[in-house]
Structure 1
């Protein structure tokens, strides 16, 4: 059982969305920029993508979990800390060390990655509206945990070997936590989250292992 009701969860989302407006627009804009950067050859593009993902995780950890979700669930203190750690890891590995490289690519991993990115940025909010969760009573891309996680999995599937497997750990754990809660709360646009972690981890590990064998 969850320590809060569905109505409390939705009311908390409304309060959060109204408090941070118009950050949602900026989040969507940098999400589009991240996708555009996949087709931008310079090395700096990889660092910019990593920084965008890091900002999304840091923002969600602090603004969503710590400053709002803790009002109805004290476990959000731990959730927020994990998101901040993930954001810091992305910043260190991808921005400081420059060890994350992305590309549109081809093959099963890239195809699923593109699908995850498109789902998180476009289909996710549309499905929410279609199922009766119109703004502001909906998780919004780039500033709430579930779409941020799916979006990140999409980019991990588009990452070129080698990539630190540690970057997969926190998103995978959240996919199980957030995905399970989505069924209890009746948030169908988050149902994909529950399987996205398993699919993404399997494909990333398989793709990178194949690359290691060929090296």
Structure 2
């Protein structure tokens, strides 16, 4: 048993950075032109969050559920599983998140009901807009080709980060924390993978997770009433 202490994260990595980023390029090529639908869906979520209607919280939850289900099947199950034996389990986590969001939309109050002007509101919007608009450029800044860009609704990281942003913006108590559990878990997995490969990108999901927890725990006046 003492031999286990001699192992590091690098010993469990099943692929090289080149193979990892090539996987994103192949995935983007395979699912094109769905990228043209992913961005409008994301911007629609932003609009319904900024201009909430009595029904918009439920629609946002159901739309997110479909996005998580798609990423679970198209990327984790069908693509990532070819290089990582743990990917089917990760796909199961994404599928569970889709079911949670679907249940929240169909039987709960939906999401989000935006918190009043406050630190959590700034954090929530920052995470949401990063996941939707900025995350695809982080890989290119780190030196990866544009073909390997990670987009909301296509790749897991921006999908999880945008979902964390929406959860921070929710005024509900328990439901918001439940929505955050699996995205936070994915951020931890992504950080471990990227950190093990020696890339600076690992700081992004790690920072997003820390900010989401801080934003969710930050007190706001008359904003967080339990469901």
Give the TM-score of the pair, scaled to structure 1: 0.89
Change beyond 3 A, Cα 1:195–1:209: farther
Alpha carbons 2:69, 2:98 under 8 Å: kept: yes
Task: Note if 1:162 corresponds to 2:184.
Answer: no
In structure 2, the residue matched to 1:24 is 35
In the alignment, what sits opposite 1:13? 24
Match of 2:111 among 85, 100, 115: 100
- How is 1:52-131 mapped onto 2 (pairs within 5 angstroms)? 52-103=63-114, 105-131=116-142
Displacement of 1:189 in angstroms is: 4.4
For 2:212, the equivalent position in structure 1 comes to 200
Matched position secondary structure for 1:161? coil
Count of matched residue positions in the alignment of Structure 1 and Structure 2: 214
User: Could you tell me whether the CA contact under 8 Å between 1:162 and 1:208 is conserved in 2?
Assistant: no
Shift of 1:142: 2.0
Residue of structure 2 aligned with 1:149, choices 146, 149, 160? 160
Distance 1:25 1:110 in 2: 28
One of 168, 181, 194 as aligned partner of 2:193: 181
From 152, 165, 183, give the equivalent of 1:171: 183
Give 1:207 deviation, angstroms: 3.6
Q: 1:195 to 1:149 in 2, by over 3 A?
A: same
- SS of the residue aligned with 2:146? coil
In structure 1, C-alpha distance between the alignment counterparts of 2:200 and 2:77, rounded to whole Å: 24
| Kept in 1: contact 2:111–2:170 (CA 8 A) | yes
Q: CA deviation at 1:174?
A: 1.1
1:41/1:16 Cα in 2 relative to 1: closer, same or farther (>3 Å)?
closer
Please state how far the C-alpha of 1:162 moved relative to its aligned partner.
3.3
| Deviation string, structure 1 residues 46-70 (Cα, Å, up to 9, x no partner) | 1121122212211111110001100
User: Does the residue aligned with 1:143 lie in a helix, a strand or coil?
Assistant: coil
Return the index of the structure with the highest Cα Rg: 2
Q: Structure 1 residue aligned with 2:58, among 47, 63, 67?
A: 47
Structure 1 residue 187: Cα displacement: 5.0
Q: Distance in 2 between matches of 1:136 and 1:112?
A: 29
Following the alignment from structure 1 to structure 2, what is the Cα–Cα distance between the partners of residues 57 and 75? 18
